[in-house]
Amino acid sequence: MKKQSWVFLVGLLGFVALAAFASRSYWMGGNAAAQAPQRPRAVSVTLATAERRQVPVDVDANGIVTPISSVALKSRLETTIVAVHFEDGAKVNEGDLLFTLDSRQIDAQIEQAEGTLAKDQAQLEGALRDLRRYTDLVAKGATTQVNLDNAKTQSDTLTAAIKADQAVIENLKVQKSYTQIRAPFSGRISVANVKVGNFVRPADVQPLAVINQMAPVYVTFSVPQRVLVDLREAMAKSGSRVIATIPGRQSSEEGKVAMVENAVDAATGMITVRGIMDNGNETLWPGTLVSTKLIIRTEESVVVPTIAVQRSQSGNFVFVVKDGIAKVQPVTIDRTFQGHSVISEGLSGDESVVTDGQLLLSDGARVEPRGKKAGA
């Protein structure tokens, strides 16, 4: 019985040792497989192409719309308003009748002056008859030279009086023309500050109404003095443009540079520029604040989406992808334009740059364009 127990114990120990050996071999094989080098997993990224194209050189600024012509209508006479011929805020054309003033007093003065003229003309006719008669008598020796000279003086005096009478009438007619106030140019008129029956005079501070020219209009803004040389060259070639946009609206107007101020503001280093816009649809209203873009010229440049540009302590860079490998490429940014950055140094065009997924990248990392299964 003891011998059988011993045999059973030896067999059991051998089975346990065999199982332990197999278990050790299994776990060692698993660790070896886990520690074997694996191929790095590719990073999924979005790519864009660096393009070489014509890009405008522009300057953004805030501007204000100002009318080319603006006139405050005032009376030149002391009289009353008898008629208003427009609606408040209406569009008026050049020559339209706007106000009619009382002209009865001037009409009476014109009639009086015309009567004086008729009297002097009649007297002149008599003086001329006397002059002719005395001329004949002097030739016959029937009268003295003094009488002839006096007749000639009288005719000359009346001739001068007639000229004065005619001048008085012309002046009164001019005064009467002031009783009809017309639009000096086309535009939009303000509210009428006076109505029918109001007494007006030249000394009044408040105008009868104000007319602003609406088309074309000026847009006035300021730009840094560093662009002055390029701007003047562009103006000489008629290559500069101005785009004015109302903030929050898609509507805009395009025009050209009409004037550059003759001096730079020494306090700010800015210079005033004025653009002229056709504004045929009256998109721009006098006094409106607008966003302006001064386009000086266009030039060929390399551009990439601005989101592709990364920043570090050493400067700006982009990830350039070639043969599935991302490389860090330092770049120099000249300016930005409509969501793109203009590259002056670092890229030549046609390179593939990463626009999304840069946070997982490092120099030399494998990448997979998004749309394919990464690591496939």
Per residue in 231-287, pLDDT (tens digit) is 999 888 888 899 999 988 878 899 999 999 999 999 999 999 999 999 999 999 999
Looking at residue 2, its pLDDT comes to 45
Task: Work out the number of other CB atoms within 10 angstroms of the CB of residue 240.
Answer: 22
pLDDT value for 37: 56
CATH number of 70-102+179-212: 2.40.50.100
Give the pLDDT mean for 326-333.
94
Highest-confidence segment of 170-179, 251-260, 308-317, 360-369? 170-179
**Res 10: pLDDT:** 45
The mean predicted confidence, pLDDT, of the chain is 88
CATH topology (fold) of 59-68+214-298: Elongation Factor Tu (Ef-tu); domain 3 (2.40.30)
The answer, yes or no, to whether residue 20 has pLDDT greater than 90, is no
> What's the confidence (pLDDT) of residue 78?
96
How many whole angstroms separate alpha carbon 304 and alpha carbon 340?
A: 6
Segments making up each domain of the chain, as ranges: 44-53+301-369, 59-68+214-298, 70-102+179-212, 103-177
Whether the model clears a pTM of 0.95, i.e. scores above it, the answer is no
Please give the single-letter amino acid code of residue 234.
Answer: A
Q: Which CATH number fits domain 44-53+301-369: 3.40.50.1360, 2.40.420.20, 1.10.260.40, 1.10.10.10?
A: 2.40.420.20
| Residue 375: pLDDT band with limits 50, 70, 90 | very low
Q: Count CA atoms closer than 13 A to 126's CA, side-chain side.
A: 7
| Mean pLDDT lowest among 7-11, 63-67, 98-102, 339-343 | 7-11
pLDDT tens sequence across 101-136:
999 999 999 999 999 999 999 999 999 999 999 899
Letter for the amino acid at 318? V
Q: Per-residue pLDDT tens for 185-205?
A: 999 999 999 999 999 999 999
The pLDDT of residue 198 is 96
Say if residue 27's pLDDT is above 50.
Answer: no
Kindly report the backbone phi and psi dihedral angles of residue 214, in degrees, each rounded to the nearest multiple of 5, phi listed first. -105, -25
End-to-end CA, the chain: 67
Residue-level pLDDT at 339: 87
Q: How far is Cα 366 from Cα 44, in angstroms, rounded to an integer?
A: 9
pLDDT of 11 strictly over 70: no
Read off the pLDDT band of 139 (50, 70, 90). Answer: confident
68-82 average pLDDT score: 96
Q: How confident is the model at residue 19 (pLDDT cuts 50, 70, 90)?
A: low
Helix (H, G, I), strand (E, B) or coil at 176: helix
Average of per-residue pLDDT across 360-374: 78
Task: Look at residue 8 and tell me whether its pLDDT is greater than 60.
Answer: no
The CATH class given to the 103-177 domain equals: mainly alpha
Distances from the Cα of 178 to the Cαs of 1, 170, 174, 237, 356, in angstroms?
A: 150, 13, 7, 46, 73
User: Residue 270, by phi and psi: left (phi above 0), alpha (psi -120 to 50) or beta?
Assistant: beta
